[in-house]
Amino acid sequence: MDFNIIRAARSVLHITDLEASRNFYVNALGFIETEADEEHIYLRGLEEHNHHSLVLKKKDRPNIEVISYKVSSDKDLEALSSFYQEKGFKTKWVEKGAQKAIGRTLRVQDVSGLPVEYFAEMDTVERLIQRYDLYKGARIQRIDHFNCSVLDVEKAYNFYINELGFACSEYTATEEERIWAAWLHRKPSVHDQAFMNGKGPRVHHIGFWLPDPMALIHACDVLASLGYADNIERGPGRHGLSNAFFLYLRDPDGHRIELYNGDYLTSDPDFKPIRWDLNDPRRQTFWGHEAPDSWFNEASTVLDVHTGEPVKVEEPTLEQRKPTFII
């Protein structure tokens, strides 16, 4: 491949109330507010040296504008542009200066209809990993992954593995060996991008890495003390698939955030993907309470990178059974 995708790097969320979102993300969860204006809040984790990994953009309705990957260089952006155009995808350049702190970006509606962005350049800021005096809330360290609901997981899997150079760490399969869900990565962890079978294209959640499991417990205490107990949707608990300790939250606009810690290294070239049977209950919850229906059925709508309009949500290709595990 002529390009090098490094990792999941940022997301742009449309939210309806900047102050309500600031109270949730900064005061309760402990994100670092790098910068803000009348229409945006730029957030990052304590160990991140890039300007932001999460943009909250004030709009009339909540949506996901884009999920974004960092690449090695500007040459990678050019190569990706050529690649997508050769495959028949319409691409869009957003030039440097059009967005705060980030160089030019390449945007495309991917094979599943998700709004995906690539960039090589972003302003750097002070890493605060040893500023323990600033740690509060969930002690967010960094962005970790995206999980998306798509109509055809095998189609997404094949494209990301065979065309974009991702590797698979774990997957869920039916008795007929149809892939129902897949966890794919570029960085040496369990996933940067997960796909699950369901109504889509939609973004189920954005995952953020925490320093240790106790940070999740502390986040629950802080959220409850600040009046956000009802924003805790699922957890804390441990997934069988990935081994991760998790907590799922809903922000004031309903976007789902996962607080995440405890997966494992996947960098060895002889690492073999782990298969989970669709009927194995351990894949969903190694321990913890059963997930509510909202966790299975609700997700954030995504926008078309060319029109700015919401992408139509459709039914999945595989027959929908009891909703399965997402991480």
Of 228, 327, 247, nearest in space to 288 by CA: 247
Q: Can you tell me the mean pLDDT for 112-131?
A: 98
CB 112 within 8 A of CB 148: yes
- How many beta carbons lie within 10 A of that of residue 191, not counting itself? 29
Q: Give the integer Cα–Cα distance in Å for 251 and 258.
A: 11
CB under 8 Å, gap of 24 or more: what pairs does 304-312 form?
A: 304/109, 304/115, 305/66, 305/92, 305/107, 305/108, 305/109, 305/115, 305/117, 306/90, 306/92, 306/109, 310/63, 311/109, 311/113, 311/115, 311/201
In DSSP terms, which residues pair with 245 in a beta bridge?
238, 261
State the pLDDT at residue 40. 98
Beta bridge partners of 205: 147
Q: Which residue has the tokens 């542009």?
A: 81
- CATH class of the domain at 5-119: alpha beta
Decide: 309 and 302 in contact? Cβ < 8 Å: no
Looking at residue 283, what DSSP letter applies?
A: G
pLDDT digits (tens, 9 = 90+) for 200-216: 999 999 999 999 999 99
Can you tell me the distance from the alpha carbon of 127 to that of 274, in angstroms, rounded to the nearest whole number?
Answer: 35
Q: Is the pLDDT of residue 140 over 60?
A: yes
β-strands 300-301, 202-209 pairing: antiparallel
pLDDT band per the 50, 70, 90 thresholds, residue 323? very low
Using CA atoms, how far apart are residues 199 and 154, in angstroms rounded to an integer? 15
Q: Length of the chain, please?
A: 327
pLDDT at 286: 65
pLDDT over 90 for what percent of the chain?
85
Residue 177: pLDDT band with limits 50, 70, 90: confident
Q: Evaluate if residue 325 carries a pLDDT over 50.
A: no
75 close to 81: Cβ distance less than 8 angstroms: no
- Rounded CA-CA distance 30/291 in Å is 25
DSSP state, residue 75: H
- The structural domains of the chain, with segments of one domain joined by +, span 5-119, 137-301
Least confident of 102-106, 239-243, 310-314: 239-243
User: pLDDT of 58-85, one tens digit each?
Assistant: 999 999 999 999 999 999 999 999 999 9
Residue 146 Cα distances to 90, 196, 259, 260, 268, angstroms: 23, 11, 12, 12, 22
Please state the rounded mean pLDDT for residues 92-96.
Answer: 97
Give the phi and the psi of residue 221 in degrees, each rounded to 5: -60, -45
**What are the tokens at 257?**
């955030």
Average pLDDT, the chain: 93
CA-wise closest residue to 164 among 185, 140, 194, 191: 185
Give the ranges where 168-236 is alpha helix by DSSP (H). Answer: 213-225
Residues 216 and 245 sit within 8 Å (Cβ to Cβ): yes
Residue 247 and residue 233: Cα distance in Å, rounded? Answer: 8
Domain 137-301 in CATH: superfamily? 2,3-Dihydroxybiphenyl 1,2-Dioxygenase, domain 1 (3.10.180.10)
pLDDT one-digit tens code per residue, 103-112: 999 999 999 9
Residue among 282, 210, 206, 215 nearest 251 (CA): 206
